[in-house]
Amino acid sequence: MLIDAPPRTVAGLLRDADVAAAALERCGHRLTAPVRLLTPGTRVRIGVRVGPGVRVAVHTRIDAVSPSGMTSTLVAGPLRELVHTVVLTPTAAGTLVLDELRWTAPFGWPGRLADVLLLRRLMLRILAARSEVLVERAAALAAGPVVVATAAVRAGLLLIAQRTRPPALAGRWELPGGRVEPGESEPDAVVRECREELATQVRVTGRLGTDLPIDAGVLRVHTAELASGAPEPQALEHAAVRWAGPDELAEVDWVDADRAVVADLVALLRSGVPAPERA
């Protein structure tokens, strides 16, 4: 199917547990996830409705998430070796979404018969419902506010900031940033937010990871570096700021949205090179 949105947006929606739950609900199934934004290693539980009041529990593990797609594997349930791969391809009209599902039917020939008569039909219904939700949510994100976050890197270290508010987030760490103002480009918003929050000047170098659906709209992470001669960042609006290495990031008490890009941040720091610039 074709979604009128860039691959980063579609990938962000694919990893949004709220999107998956809405699609499954339309088919009578239920999803339970420990976090909203799925990351590699996250396990989700799906209660598959097989009859009135009867559900079969299956557990799926997210293996990979990136702007080019997502892969998950069934780790508990009646099927064997079920792998779901979603490949996202940019086109002039939007993003082409290609799903590939591979599995082995259990119980010999009765399982193969059930596969043809029931399972394939169930999978197609779920994918059709997911397509409907993707189209709806992509349109909503396109019309909503954008929030930028800054992954500022220096000598293999990442700048992180500790929140003071709201009370529910006080003490947790985040990437500096804020909302894009009307008429402002995202890179300009990154520069402005770093000037206002950190009293320093940055140069934007690219994008990182997928778009991240959040309650406030959509969060987009931009990579950056301190501009030549820029002063050391200060905690003007945070409790503290510090530079953290790749081995520390998994242990940081992140706000939920930023935790979703920890794997991307670690890879960025270990690569030693800025993310490529994108229009």
Q: Which domains can be identified in the chain, with CATH numbers?
A: 2-143 (3.30.530.20), 146-271 (3.90.79.10)
Read off the tokens for 129: 């419902």
Q: How confident is the model at residue 273 (pLDDT cuts 50, 70, 90)?
A: low
Q: How confident is the model at residue 267 (pLDDT cuts 50, 70, 90)?
A: very high
Name the percent of the chain lying above pLDDT 70: 91
Over residues 10-18, mean pLDDT: 98
Name the percent of the chain lying above pLDDT 90: 80
Please give the mean pLDDT across all residues of the chain. 91
| Chain position carrying tokens 């909203």 | 36
**How far is C-alpha 64 from the chain's CA centre?**
11
In this structure, are residues 15 and 40 in contact, taking their beta carbons and an 8 Å threshold? no
**How far is C-alpha 235 from the chain's CA centre?**
27
Give the 3-state secondary structure of residue 179: strand
Cα 196-163-244 angle, rounded to 5 deg: 90
pLDDT of residue 101: 87
Q: How confident is the model at residue 121 (pLDDT cuts 50, 70, 90)?
A: confident
pLDDT of residue 153: 97
Report phi then psi at 276, rounded to 5: -65, 145
Which strand (E) or helix (H) includes residue 222? strand 217-226
**Environment class of residue 239 by beta-carbon count within 10 Å: exposed (0-12), middle (13-18) or buried (19+)?**
middle
Strands 146-154 and 157-162, bridge-based pairing: antiparallel
pLDDT of residue 224: 98
Q: Give me the DSSP letters along 44-77.
A: EEEEEEEETTEEEEEEEEEEEEETTEEEEEEEES
Q: Closest by alpha carbon to 103, among 79, 121, 127, 69?
A: 79
* Minimum mean pLDDT range among 93-97, 111-115, 134-138, 168-172: 111-115
pLDDT of residue 111: 54
**pLDDT tens, position by position, 42-66:** 999 999 887 888 888 999 999 999 9
